[in-house]
Structure 1
């Protein structure tokens, strides 16, 4: 059985990974890179959400894959 906590964990993981991937793609566009240091720093920090989301997804998979005795 899944608990409500694990469903939230998967949702948070997907959202963080999605935000990180969008920010990573945005860094490829010259319009974003040439705007200044503050917007580029913010987009770079948002891009760091992708590994965090991936890690949370792995944690969710490990927790939900265990059999309860």
Structure 2
């Protein structure tokens, strides 16, 4: 009697369907955070005021945070 062969472990972990949401959330949060930093640095480095586009980009910070929260709640659910 011989032991059955053990299958080799998978080389990479299988991708989950929601990984794109985490990458999107991190990207949006990072862009928004950079915009917030740029808003504070603009008056220090130049004589002008920050443009409207910086304020609009800064609004991506909470959007990215909410996407990350949705990802955490979605990926943490119990599978049946």
Question: Which has the higher Rg, Structure 1 or Structure 2?
Answer: 2
TM beyond 0.5: yes
Q: Deviations over 1:1-44 (max 9, x none)?
A: 8623x100000000000000000000002146715xxx610010
CA RMSD of aligned residues (A): 2.0
Give the length in aligned residue pairs: 65
> TM-score, normalized by length of structure 1?
0.83
**Within-5 A mapping of 1:1-69:** 3-4=16-17, 6-29=18-41, 30=43, 31=45, 34=48, 40-69=51-80
Flag the structure with more relative contact order, 1 or 2, with Cα contacts below 8 A and sequence separation at least 6. 1
Identify, as 1 or 2, the structure richer in helix. Answer: 1
Gaps of 5+ in 1: none
Question: TM-score scaled to structure 2, two decimals?
Answer: 0.72
